[in-house]
A and B are shown apart, each in its own frame.
Chain A
Amino acid sequence: MTQVRIPPTLREQTGGERELAAEGDTVRDLLDDLLGRFPALRQQLVEDGDLAPFVNVYVEGEDVRTLDGLETEVKAGSTVILLPAMAGGT
């Protein structure tokens, strides 16, 4: 199980949880697990079967797009952060 950090802007879709445990060895598996349980997340994270361009996923502080994308391996205990664009400033 890996803990996935849920940003405040996506907590509406995940029952308010700040962190969710997810099953899987790759980012894709983790997201599939989450999307299965919280289908409302899909349109916030996925576009044309890939990660939407307005969302980043970090594994151990690295953007998965600079690694192997959705196929990036995730080890147990890794820190995974979902990060959509956030504009608020006032």
Chain B
Amino acid sequence: MPTYRELLQQVRAEISEVDASHARELVDTGEPVIVDVREQDEWDEGHIPGAVHIPRGHLESRIERTAPDPSRAVLVYCSAGNRSAFAAKTLEEFGYEDVVSLAGGFTDWKRNGYPVEQQAGLEAQQRARYSRHLLIPEVGEQGQLKLLDSKVLLVGAGGLGSPASLYLAAAGVGRIGIVDADVVDESNLQRQIVHSTERLGEPKVESAKRTIEALNPDVQVVAYEERLTSENVERILADGWDVIVDGADNFPTRYLVNDASVWHDVPVVHGSIYRFEGQVTVFKPGGGPCYRCLFPTPPPPELAPSCAEGGVLGVLPGVIGSLQANEALKLALGIGEPLVGRLLLFDALSAEFDEVKLRRDPDCPVCGEHPTITEYIDYVEFCAGTRETA
């Protein structure tokens, strides 16, 4: 049986190696896929700019996703050139036609004073917490860092805001703003799972903040214990949000959220529920219709569904609020096909989803070509005083 040293020598003889200065030239051409096969802690301390990180142990399982074209050149490196020699051999066996290993590795690269990139990576604890995200190629460490850096504003800490806030917090959205003026009431607890019996009488934003911070200390919660109005909407938006999750329970707030979203260019993940049925869509300024393209004005108060006759199956906001969280995460990560221009309808009784198309209205009073609404409107309150029964 050959010793490690003999095997290494044999492998190095079979593959192509380049020294640091040659590697630098290759990197500068931008042509090769640069693969760093070191361990996580080594990668975190710095790596060649533009490199992708595939620890040696995952090379076989992940390389095809990273480098689908076997004719494209691959530059592989580790710290000293030994692990990368074996990696290069493996890649050749996979059918990669032009593989070189950096002799002297990253150590030599640095010694030559060549550029090094170092990201604020995840801490060990975060790596454990978000490990199921890190395993998904579409999220990964870069995606998780994006989430930790993202800011989502929730309008309403009720039925929809409860599951949405919990999932966004668990996912590691770094900053979550919550706007709600209400206190926790007994009739909320049948569905508003971010609150609890011991929080009765407590402001909802404080209750939600405590639950979220207990769930994930990475999340900073900004509590706005107020009702969204034309007076405070600009101040709240000025705190800088990437996505708004609209779980409001009334028309005036929904129109304020919409107009603010258009004027501040922030996408809104819209959800609404009634009894057994719910709806979700994404209003993305510039990319699709807004709420006013769909419904230019709210119905007159006397025609709005009576809140007293409302009611909702407790789990329904769980379904719709979770779908909203899903859309918000996709928007924050920039992946998938968000529900832009599509309204998803869910019927809990038949357990069916339907979808209708939403189109941008060129005559929309807010996002159309000749907008007629240019400042916030405070519509008449619907169901004043009984807002909690919806």
Question: Which chain A residues have a beta carbon within 8 Å of chain B's beta carbons?
Answer: 7-9, 12, 18, 43-44, 52-54, 56, 58, 61-63, 66, 79, 81, 83-90
- B312 and A86 form a contact (CB under 8 A): no
7 pairs, CB–CB < 8 Å, chain A vs chain B: A54-B299, A56-B294, A81-B356, A83-B345, A88-B310, A88-B390, A90-B192
B249 touches A87 (CB 8 A): yes
Which single residue of chain A is at the shortest CB-CB distance from B296? A53
Most chain-B Cβ atoms within 10 A of its Cβ — which of A7, A8, A18, A58? A8
Identify the closest chain B residue to A79 (Cβ).
B354
The 9 residue pairs across chains A and B that have the minimum distance between CB atoms = A90-B158, A88-B390, A54-B299, A9-B305, A89-B247, A90-B249, A85-B295, A58-B356, A89-B249
Contacting pair A62 B357 (CB below 8 A): yes
- Residues of chain B lying within 8 A (CB to CB) of residue A79: 354
Q: Are B188 and A87 in contact (CB under 8 A)?
A: no
Name the residue on A nearest B360 (C-beta): A66
| A interface footprint on B267-296 (CB within 8 Å = 1, 0 otherwise) | 000011111110100000000000000111
- List, in ascending order, chain A residues with CB within 8 A of B345's CB: 81, 83
Interface string of B158-179 (1 = CB under 8 A from A): 1111000000000000000000
CB neighbours (8 Å) of A18 from chain B are: 349
Whether the Cβ atoms of B274 and A86 lie closer than 8 Å is yes
Nearest CB of A to B135, in Å = 33
Q: Tell me the nearest residue of chain B to A84, going by C-beta.
A: B299
B297 within 8 A of A: yes
Quick check: A43 and B297 within 8 Å, CB to CB?
Answer: no
Q: Are A88 and B295 in contact (CB under 8 A)?
A: no
Q: Report yes or no: A62 in contact with B390, Cβ–Cβ below 8 A.
A: no
Question: CB of B378 within 8 A of chain A?
Answer: no
Q: Are B382 and A87 in contact (CB under 8 A)?
A: yes
Q: Which of A12, A53, A85, A88 has the most CB of B within 10 A?
A: A88
B44 within 8 A of A: no
B356 lies within 8 A of A63 (CB): yes
Q: Chain A residues near B295 (CB, 8 Å)?
A: 53-54, 56, 85
B248–A87 CB distance below 8 A: yes
Chain A residues with Cβ under 8 A from B210's Cβ? none
Residues of B within 8 A of A7 (CB): 274, 277
With A54-B297, A62-B357, A81-B354: A90-B388 Cβ-Cβ less than 8 Å? yes
A63 to B254 CA separation, bound complex (whole angstroms) = 21
Q: Which of B156, B276, B279, B349 contacts A90 (CB 8 A)?
A: B156
Q: For A86, list chain B residues within 8 Å (CB).
A: 272-274, 279, 305
Q: In the docked arrangement, what's the CA distance between A12 and B308, Å?
A: 13
